[in-house]
Amino acid sequence: MSESNSHNAPDALNAGRLRANRQLDEQAVWTRFRAGDQRAFEDLMTTHYRTLFRYGNRFSADPEFIKDSIQDLFLYLWERRVSLHPEVSVKPYLLVSLRRQMHRKKTGKLVNESLTDETEPGFQVEFSVEEQFIEDEAAVRRAEQLKKLLNTLPARQKEVVYLRFFQELSRDEIAGVMSITPQTVSNLLQLAFRQLRNSQGIELLLPLLWLVSTCW
């Protein structure tokens, strides 16, 4: 009989363990990066490239611009590696920095200029339905309905739902990226689900709330 719990979905416990391991590794790479290890530069960039690219896509639809910005970001950090904070939550830090970088480039501001007086551009995400994965009309309608509901969520709820379910960020990472507290992240998710539930007129089960508040 294998060790793994055959009754439990292999997620909560394992995911927690995996995440802890990943964080240790990330810290190690970050330390080496700050120390000027060329290999760490490549590791860091490779590890986070796709996440950064997808996040950058929320602020621009131009792939070349997104790639340029990611490159500029890493070169900028590399140049300042000595003055980088030794202990940061790497992923949120990179995501926020990319967002700032792209905004500055678009508005022509210099990196050191303060952004305090500006509202940054909206986070844009549009949910869509790929019909080739659906076989019957009823399912298409259901998918379209879900998509419509998701697209009409208020901006911040939409952002949290996207980052949690479609980018698989943890609650803390989302808090870091959006500059809000982890509790606010949970609250926004709950609001989103309440709205989805009411609009659909379907009772989403209580286990869903459990999912939202405790599993991470």
Partner 1 sequence: MRDYTHYSSNDFFWDASFRQWVLAPTRESDAFWQQWLAQHSQKQSVISQARSLVLAVGVRELPLSDDDMQQAVRKASLRSQQPLENPSSETPIRPLPVYRQTWFQLAASVLLVLGGYWLWATQYQPTPTTLTDRLTYQHQVADQPVKLVETVNNTLNTMPVRLSDGSLVMLRPQARISYAAQLSGPRREVYLSGEAFFEVQKDPSKPFLIYANGLVTKVLGTSFLIRANPADKDVTVEVKTGRVAVFAQSDPERNQKITDRELSGVVLLPNQKIIYAREAVRLTKSLVENPVMVAPPSARSAFVFDETPLPRVFDALEKAYSVDIVYDESLFANCPLTATLTDQPLFEKLDIICRVSQVQYAVLDGQIIIQGQGCKP
Among residue numbers 137 through 196, which ones bind partner 1 (CB under 8 A)? 139, 142-143, 145-148, 150, 152, 162, 165-166, 168, 193
State the sign of the Cα–Cα–Cα–Cα dihedral 204, 210, 213, 216: negative
111 to 140: interface string for partner 1, x by CB under 8 A: xx------------xxxxxxx-xxx---x-
Least distance to partner 1, CB of residue 149, Å? 10
* Inter-residue contact 40 to 84 (CB < 8 Å): no
Q: Using CA atoms, how far apart are residues 87 and 183, in angstroms rounded to an integer?
A: 22
Residue 63 exposed, middle or buried by CB count within 10 Å (0-12, 13-18, 19+):
exposed
Least distance to partner 1, CB of residue 165, Å? 7
Q: Using CA atoms, how far apart are residues 69 and 75, in angstroms rounded to an integer?
A: 10
Task: Determine, following the binding rule CB under 8 A, whether residue 4 of this chain makes contact with partner 1.
Answer: yes
Residue 102 exposed, middle or buried by CB count within 10 Å (0-12, 13-18, 19+):
buried
Least distance to partner 1, CB of residue 177, Å? 16
Q: Using CA atoms, how far apart are residues 196 and 40, in angstroms rounded to an integer?
A: 43
Tokens for 22, please give them: 């990943």
Q: 191: how many CB neighbours lie within 10 A of its CB?
A: 15
Q: Tell me which stretch binds partner 1 (CB under 8 A): 20-28, 63-71, 87-95, 180-188.
A: 63-71
Q: Which of 19, 32, 67, 156 binds partner 1 (CB under 8 A)?
A: 67
Run of H or E residues at 65: helix 63-79
Task: Determine, following the binding rule CB under 8 A, whether residue 10 of this chain makes contact with partner 1.
Answer: yes
- Restricted to residues 18-37, the positions that interact with partner 1 (CB under 8 A) are none
Complex with partner 1: residue 57 or 213, whichever CB lies closer: 57
Q: Which of 21, 106, 115, 120 binds partner 1 (CB under 8 A)?
A: 106
Q: Which of 26, 29, 66, 174 binds partner 1 (CB under 8 A)?
A: 66
Task: Determine, following the binding rule CB under 8 A, whether residue 107 of this chain makes contact with partner 1.
Answer: yes
